[in-house]
Structure 1
Amino acid sequence: MQTQQDSSTSATTIPPHNNNDAELKATAPGQLRVIKRNGSVVPYTDDKISVAITKAFLAVEGGNAAASTRIHETVAKLTDQVSATFKRRMPSGGTIHIEEIQDQVELALMRSGEHKIARGYVLYRAARAEERSQLAPVGEKIHPSIRVKHADGSESPLDLGRLEFIVQEACEGLQDVSAQAVQDEALKSLYNGVPEDEVNTSLVITARAMVEKEHNYSLVTARLLLDKLRAEALSFLNIAQSATQHDMSIYYPQALPIYLAKGAELELLDPRLASEYDVAALGEAIKPERDMQFHYLGLQTLYDRYFIHSNEVRIELPQIFFMRVAMGLAMNEEDRNARAIEFYDLLSSFDYMSSTPTLFNAGTLRPQLSSCYLTTVPDDLHGIYGAIQDNAMLSKFAGGLGNDWTPVRGLGAYIKGTNGKSQGVVPFLKVVNDTAVAVNQGGKRKGAVCAYLESWHIDIEEFLELRKNTGDDRRRTHDMNTANWIPDLFMKRVFQDGEWTLFSPNDVPDLHDLYGKAFEERFEHYEELTRKGEVKLYKRVKAGDLWRKILSMLFETGHPWITFKDPCNLRSPQQHIGVVHSSNLCTEITLNTNKDEIAVCNLGSVNLAQHTGDSGLDLVKLEKTVKTAVRMLDNVIDINYYSVPQAKNSNFKHRPVGLGLMGFQDALYKQHIPYSSDEAVEFADRSMEAISYYAIKSSSDLAAERGSYQSYEGSLWSRGILPIDSVGILAEERGADYIEVDRSETLDWAGLRATVKSQGMRNSNVMAIAPTATIANITGVSQSIEPTYQNLYVKSNLSGEFTVVNPYLVKDLKARGLWDAVMVNDLKYYEGSVNKIDRIPDDLKALYATAFEVEPRWLVDAASRRQKWLDQAQSLNLYIAGASGKKLDITYRMAWYRGLKTTYYLRALAASSTEKSTVSQGSMNKVSSQSAAPKAAATASAAEPQAAPVPLACSLDDPDCEACQ
Structure 2
Amino acid sequence: MQSTVDSQLATEMGRAAAPAADVIHYMTIRRNGDVVAFEPVKISIAVSKAFLAVAGGSHAASASLRDKVARLTETAVGALMRRKPDGGAIHIEEIQDQVELALMRAGEHDVARAYVLYREAHAKARAAEAAEPAAEAVPALTVVHADGRHAPLDVAALRAEVAAACAGLPEADVEALLADTLKNLYDGVAAEEVSRSAVLAARARIEQDPAYDYVTARLLLGALRAEVLCEPVSQAGMAAAYPHALVRSIRGNIDAGLLNPELASFDFARLGAALKPSRDLKFGYLGLQTLADRYFLHVAGVRSELPQVFFMRVAMGLALNETDREARAIEFYELLSSFDFMSSTPTLFNAGTRHSQLSSCYLTTLADSLEGIFDGIKDNALLSKFAGGLGNDWTPVRALGSHIRGTNGVSQGVIPFLKVVNDTAVAVNQGGKRKGAVCAYLETWHADIEEFLELRKNTGDERRRAHDMNSANWIPDLFMKRVIAGEEWSLFSPAETGDLHELTGAAFEARYAHYEALGRAGKLAVYRTLPATTLWRKMLTMLFETGHPWLTFKDPCNLRSPQQHLGVVHSSNLCTEITLNTSADEIAVCNLGSVNLAAHLTDSGELDDAHLARTVSTAMRMLDNVIDLNYYPVDKARNANLRHRPVGLGIMAFQDCLHRLRIPYASDAAVAFADRAMERVAYHAYWASTMLAEERGRYPSYEGSLWSRGILPQDSIALLAEARGGLLEMDRSETLNWQPLRERIARHGMRNSNCLAIAPTATISNIVGVSASIEPTYQNLFVKSNLSGEFTVINEHLVRDLKAAGLWDEVMVADLKYFDGSLGRIDRVPGELKALYVTAFEIDAKWLVEAASRRQKWIDQAQSLNLYVAGASGKLLDELYKLAWLKGLKTTYYLRTLAATSAEKSTGRGGELNAVPTAPEPEARFCSIDNPDCEACQ
Query: How many angstroms does 1:658 deviate by?
Result: 0.1
| Gap change, CA 1:714 and 1:345, over 3 Å in 2 | same
- The 5 Å alignment of 1:913-924 reads 915=904, 924=922
| Gap change, CA 1:534 and 1:212, over 3 Å in 2 | same
- The 5 Å alignment of 1:72-111 reads 87=77, 89-91=79-81, 94-97=88-91
Counterpart of 1:680 in structure 2: which amino acid? A
Q: Give distance in 2, aligned partners of 1:82 and 1:868.
A: 50
Secondary structure, counterpart of 2:889 in structure 1: coil
Counterpart of 1:725 in structure 2: which amino acid? D
Asked if the contact 1:282–1:341 (Cα under 8 Å) also holds between the matched residues in 2, the reply is: yes
Asked if the contact 1:143–1:187 (Cα under 8 Å) also holds between the matched residues in 2, the reply is: no
With 910-919 and 480-489 compared, the bigger mean Cα shift is at 910-919
Asked if the contact 1:881–1:910 (Cα under 8 Å) also holds between the matched residues in 2, the reply is: no
Q: Give distance in 1, aligned partners of 2:74 and 2:365.
A: 52
- Structure 2: stretches of 5+ with no match in the other structure: 2-21, 48-55, 104-109, 907-915
1:606 corresponds to which of 584, 595, 610? 595
Residue of structure 2 in register with 1:182 after alignment = 177
Query: How many angstroms does 1:162 deviate by?
Result: 2.5
Residue of structure 2 in register with 1:952 after alignment = 926
Residue of structure 1 in register with 2:378 after alignment = 389
Residue of structure 1 in register with 2:51 after alignment = none
Residue of structure 2 in register with 1:928 after alignment = none
Deviations 1:426-449, CA, capped at 9 Å, x for gaps: 111111111111111111111111
Q: Give distance in 1, aligned partners of 2:70 and 2:379.
A: 53
2:236 corresponds to which of 231, 235, 246? 246
Residue of structure 2 in register with 1:33 after alignment = 28
Query: How many angstroms does 1:325 deviate by?
Result: 0.3
TM-score, with structure 2 as normaliser: 0.89
Residue of structure 1 in register with 2:720 after alignment = 730
Q: Give distance in 1, aligned partners of 2:269 and 2:499.
A: 60
Q: Give distance in 2, aligned partners of 1:795 and 1:368.
A: 29
Residue of structure 2 in register with 1:205 after alignment = 200
1:369 corresponds to which of 349, 358, 363? 358
TM-score, with structure 1 as normaliser: 0.87
Query: How many angstroms does 1:69 deviate by?
Result: 9.9
- The 5 Å alignment of 1:896-915 reads 896-909=885-898, 915=904
- The 5 Å alignment of 1:256-275 reads 256-275=246-265
Query: How many angstroms does 1:157 deviate by?
Result: 1.6
With 662-671 and 107-116 compared, the bigger mean Cα shift is at 107-116
Tell me, yes or no, if structure 1 residue 832 matches structure 2 residue 795. Answer: no
Query: How many angstroms does 1:121 deviate by?
Result: 5.0
Deviations 1:907-943, CA, capped at 9 Å, x for gaps: 123799653599987975xxxxxxxxxxxxxxxxxxx
Query: How many angstroms does 1:952 deviate by?
Result: 2.3
- The 5 Å alignment of 1:495-894 reads 495-614=484-603, 615-736=605-726, 738-796=727-785, 801-894=790-883
| Gap change, CA 1:48 and 1:886, over 3 Å in 2 | closer
Asked if the contact 1:466–1:475 (Cα under 8 Å) also holds between the matched residues in 2, the reply is: yes
Secondary structure, counterpart of 1:904 in structure 2: coil
| Gap change, CA 1:288 and 1:593, over 3 Å in 2 | same
Secondary structure, counterpart of 1:411 in structure 2: coil
Q: Give distance in 2, aligned partners of 1:446 and 1:82.
A: 27
- The 5 Å alignment of 1:37-186 reads 37=32, 39-43=33-37, 87=77, 89-91=79-81, 94-97=88-91, 112=113, 123-131=124-132, 144-186=139-181
Bigger-Rg structure (1/2): 1
Q: Give distance in 2, aligned partners of 1:145 and 1:845.
A: 50
Asked if the contact 1:676–1:854 (Cα under 8 Å) also holds between the matched residues in 2, the reply is: yes
Asked if the contact 1:882–1:914 (Cα under 8 Å) also holds between the matched residues in 2, the reply is: no
Asked if the contact 2:313–2:351 (Cα under 8 Å) also holds between the matched residues in 1, the reply is: yes
Query: How many angstroms does 1:580 deviate by?
Result: 0.4
With 105-114 and 725-734 compared, the bigger mean Cα shift is at 105-114
- The 5 Å alignment of 1:228-307 reads 228-235=223-230, 241-275=231-265, 277-307=266-296
Query: How many angstroms does 1:464 deviate by?
Result: 0.7
Q: Give distance in 1, aligned partners of 2:661 and 2:919.
A: 32
| Gap change, CA 1:112 and 1:871, over 3 Å in 2 | closer
Query: How many angstroms does 1:80 deviate by?
Result: 11
| Gap change, CA 1:571 and 1:86, over 3 Å in 2 | closer
Q: Give distance in 2, aligned partners of 1:321 and 1:712.
A: 36
Residue of structure 2 in register with 1:5 after alignment = none
Asked if the contact 2:290–2:767 (Cα under 8 Å) also holds between the matched residues in 1, the reply is: yes
Alignment length, in residue pairs?
Answer: 888
Residue of structure 1 in register with 2:937 after alignment = 964
Asked if the contact 2:73–2:99 (Cα under 8 Å) also holds between the matched residues in 1, the reply is: no
Query: How many angstroms does 1:576 deviate by?
Result: 0.7
| Gap change, CA 1:587 and 1:105, over 3 Å in 2 | closer
Q: Give distance in 1, aligned partners of 2:632 and 2:652.
A: 28
Secondary structure, counterpart of 1:375 in structure 2: strand
Deviations 1:323-380, CA, capped at 9 Å, x for gaps: 0000000110111100000000000011100000000000000100000000111111
Query: How many angstroms does 1:82 deviate by?
Result: 12
Query: How many angstroms does 1:621 deviate by?
Result: 1.0
Q: Give distance in 2, aligned partners of 1:106 and 1:407.
A: 53
Secondary structure, counterpart of 2:670 in structure 1: helix
Deviations 1:717-766, CA, capped at 9 Å, x for gaps: 01111111001110011111x11001111001122111111111000000
Secondary structure, counterpart of 1:563 in structure 2: strand
| Gap change, CA 1:696 and 1:916, over 3 Å in 2 | farther
Secondary structure, counterpart of 1:245 in structure 2: coil
Q: Give distance in 2, aligned partners of 1:899 and 1:626.
A: 26
Query: How many angstroms does 1:152 deviate by?
Result: 3.0
Asked if the contact 1:32–1:43 (Cα under 8 Å) also holds between the matched residues in 2, the reply is: yes
Q: Give distance in 2, aligned partners of 1:693 and 1:127.
A: 69
Asked if the contact 1:613–1:671 (Cα under 8 Å) also holds between the matched residues in 2, the reply is: no
Q: Give distance in 1, aligned partners of 2:525 and 2:166.
A: 75
| Gap change, CA 1:571 and 1:805, over 3 Å in 2 | same
Counterpart of 2:740 in structure 1: which amino acid? G
| Gap change, CA 1:321 and 1:47, over 3 Å in 2 | closer
Counterpart of 1:41 in structure 2: which amino acid? V
Deviations 1:838-872, CA, capped at 9 Å, x for gaps: 11111111111111001010000000000010000
Counterpart of 2:175 in structure 1: which amino acid? Q
Asked if the contact 2:289–2:788 (Cα under 8 Å) also holds between the matched residues in 1, the reply is: no
Identity of aligned residues (%): 63
Asked if the contact 1:35–1:190 (Cα under 8 Å) also holds between the matched residues in 2, the reply is: no
Deviations 1:477-535, CA, capped at 9 Å, x for gaps: 11111110000000000000001110111211211010011111111111112223332
Secondary structure, counterpart of 1:882 in structure 2: coil
Query: How many angstroms does 1:41 deviate by?
Result: 2.7
With 478-487 and 166-175 compared, the bigger mean Cα shift is at 166-175
| Gap change, CA 1:43 and 1:922, over 3 Å in 2 | same
Counterpart of 2:714 in structure 1: which amino acid? I
